[in-house]
Amino acid sequence: MRDSKPVPEPAKVPWAPRIGVDGRKFPGAMRGGCHDTLVRAHEAGFEGVFFRTVLDMSPTLDAGELQEIRDHADDLGMYLEAGLGKVNPFATPETPELRAAGDGDILLGFRRMMEASARIGCVELWAATTNYQLGYPGKFVWDRFRTDVTWSAQLAATGRFLERLRPIALDLGVHINLETHEEITSFELVDLIETVGPDVCGIVYDTANPLQRLEHPRYTADRVAPYVRQTQLKDCSITPVEGGYRFDLTPCGDGLVDFAYILSALARTAPGVNLTIENQESRADFPGPTPVTVLPVRDPDFVGSHADLTVPEFAAFTGLAYDRAAPGSQPWAPASPAHFGDDEAMAAVLRSLAHLTQVRDRVAAATHPPAVPA
């Protein structure tokens, strides 16, 4: 009888996620169109483009136009990601293009967007709950503080709408991925996904937004990592000011987000996810005043709306801000000064790319060290 040979262990596939960029905010994207964005992003060293919604790629959902964009991305060796829109029925009136996609029937509009995306192989689809209400004071920039409808009612309505999209998603084999957006906590997001079902819902992990909900980046990463299917990587600063904390975006690596911790978590739970940078947009693409966000932590209504937040996590969050503000430390430089045009925006996004590339490579080496010769 022959001795049985040991079964070799399956070879470990190196963790090497591609790093791409936001197809709406990449400098010049709003003026040049999708094909121009793909070319310039590729030339700048990015490996993919995440167009926020499929309507950004083709407002009419033209099958030929969408296939041309898919083919162009493939020819460049780039990943292509897309999305849908806001899934909170109280927010959808602010985006009438979603209703127009269904000739007035918003459910049909979502079906058509999902079908068009699936046809070109985009099966991980971004969505979010509300819009950032630029220009309103204090807590009213976030729709969780609307006074005509409670946030709990908005979450319930969002869940019901997602339940209506569920059979469509199952039929098409797509995931509707909700962003860790400015107004929703990661606790609430995980609860929504578990309720509707992780088989059709996931998370688009924006790494900076949860700090607007007083969450510590490491705590958030631990909560959301098992559900992440898309990313929007960005960094931020939190500065103590009168009445609370000022929130500013920074290039990745210049702020408070611990990308080594986050990418290590994603390497374990979402090894196939692409890493998309959501850069601070050029004022040439998005003219107008730079938004100033202050977290009003002295407002009982603001603090009280975060019922799931624990004392240890809030303490860790405040420690981030005050450690940076300690005597002798360098003050934060806002990522979007008065003049922030294409050149400044490009310099910032390339700085983010360099930092994330270094972190990714370090995490990959630690996760899958090179084999030692026998």
146 falls within a domain: yes
pLDDT at 137 over 90: no
In this predicted structure, what is the pLDDT of residue 9? 44
pLDDT in tens, 330-354: 555 554 556 788 999 999 999 999 9
> C-alpha distances in angstroms, 104 versus 93, 107, 161, 239, 270?
11, 9, 16, 44, 37
Residue type, 281: E
pLDDT at 4 over 70: no
| Average pLDDT of span 254-260 | 96
In this predicted structure, what is the pLDDT of residue 270? 95
| Average pLDDT of span 3-22 | 67
The alpha-carbon radius of gyration of the chain (Å, integer) is 21
CB-CB contact of 208 with 234 (8 Å): yes
What's the CATH code of the domain at 223?
Answer: 3.20.20.150
Q: Report angle CA 149, 150, 151 to the nearest 5 degrees.
A: 120
pLDDT at 5 over 70: no
> C-alpha distances in angstroms, 356 versus 80, 203, 257, 261, 334?
19, 20, 12, 12, 20
14 falls within a domain: no
- The mean predicted confidence, pLDDT, of the chain is 91
Q: Report angle CA 234, 137, 250 to the nearest 5 degrees.
A: 20
In this predicted structure, what is the pLDDT of residue 338? 63
312 falls within a domain: yes
Q: How deeply is 206 buried, as exposed, middle or buried, from its count of CB atoms within 10 A (0-12, 13-18, 19+)?
A: buried
In angstroms, rounded to a whole number, what is the distance separating the alpha carbons of residues 262 and 255? Answer: 14
Please identify which residue in the block is written with the tokens 């930092």: 355
227 falls within a domain: yes
In this predicted structure, what is the pLDDT of residue 331? 53
Torsion over CA: 30, 33, 38, 41 (sign): negative
Q: Report angle CA 244, 245, 247 to the nearest 5 degrees.
A: 145
Query: How is residue 300 written in tokens?
Result: 């009982």
63 falls within a domain: yes
Please identify which residue in the block is written with the tokens 């070319």: 39
294 falls within a domain: yes
> C-alpha distances in angstroms, 83 versus 86, 102, 146, 305?
10, 16, 26, 29
In this predicted structure, what is the pLDDT of residue 134? 87
45 falls within a domain: yes
pLDDT tier, 14 (very low <50, low <70, confident <90, very high otherwise): confident
Domain boundaries, position 93: 19-366
Tally of domains in the chain: 1
pLDDT at 159 over 60: yes
| Average pLDDT of span 103-110 | 97
pLDDT tier, 367 (very low <50, low <70, confident <90, very high otherwise): confident
